[in-house]
Amino acid sequence: MFSGGIPCSVEIPKDHPRYKSLSMRERLAELAKEGVVTITGLIAHGRGEAFDYLLGERTIPEAKEAERVAVSYLLEAKNPVISVNGNVAALCPEEIIRLAETVPAKIEVNLFHRTPERVEKVIRHMEGAGAGRVLGRNPDSLLPGISSDRAMCTREGIYTADVVLVPLEDGDRAEALVAMGKVVLAIDLNPLSRTSKAATVTIVDEVTRAIPEMTVMVDELRHDPGKRKRMISSFDNRENLRRTIGHICRYIESQGSKDKE
């Protein structure tokens, strides 16, 4: 059964005001039963949903700017890699594959709650969605400075990548990747997270909105290296996060004053 492109087990009425959000939950719950999504991935999604409310559940201009800069980095990179975890594989596998093919970039599965069986499930899930080659089955390298299994990666992929896109990341690995001198592009609805603060570029947007938007931007920026370089050199992640938080505050204020009317 499919709900708005998101396969799920319970039919959500299309006219339900929270159709997309409920379909996503069903999808994640279903894939948690299959072991693709970890149980704590459901908690992480709930936190993301809460922050998305505070953004008005839409892509704000600050996120669009960060998406453009992130795409510029991906196009400038020698070895760009998209890191995929259980939640990302569940929410937007086809969209990740399309972005990876368009750039082109490698896809590597890297999990926080890692077991060989789960890695295999997530990779199979990506392959089932049409991915050609997915790295991560046979990690041969360790990221320095991380004590969790998230350190395990492939030399061909994340270990030697110059630019890594990390949707829904945990702070430890984001910091470790930056410490290795890599450009880290985060997608995280929480502008206050350690990941958001550590990343080179933080996209405060919902992953299923951000990835397709970025794929369109690849075509816009592919033939304009001058614009890419200008976007990269003028971008200040801290300032963008500051403006994002300001945006959230103003949005909350506006909702509060609506109640008083």
Distance between CA 139 and CA 156 in Å, rounded? 9
**Which region among 35-43, 124-132, 137-145, 242-250 touches ligand PTJ (by CB under 6 A)?**
35-43
DSSP state of 102: H
Distance between CA 209 and CA 58 in Å, rounded? 8
Q: Which amino acid is at 54?
A: L
- Residue 40 sits in the site that holds ligand PTJ (CB under 6 A): yes
**Which region among 59-67, 84-92, 133-141, 229-237 touches ligand PTJ (by CB under 6 A)?**
84-92
For the segment 139-198, give every residue that binds ligand PTJ (CB under 6 A).
Answer: 168, 170, 187-190, 193
For the segment 92-121, give every residue that binds ligand PTJ (CB under 6 A).
Answer: 111-113
Decide if 139 contacts 152 (C-beta within 8 A).
yes
Q: Which residues in the chain belong to E strands, given as ranges?
A: 2-3, 6-7, 80-84, 106-109, 134-135, 141-142, 152-153, 163-167, 183-187, 201-203
Please state the closest distance from residue 102 (CB atom) to ligand PTJ, in A: 20
Contact with ligand PTJ (CB under 6 A): which of 146, 206, 237, 247? 206
Distance between CA 122 and CA 84 in Å, rounded? 9
Please state the closest distance from residue 140 (CB atom) to ligand PTJ, in A: 19
> For binding to ligand PTJ (CB under 6 A), which residues are involved?
38, 40-41, 44-45, 47-48, 51, 85-87, 91, 111-113, 168, 170, 187-190, 193, 206-207
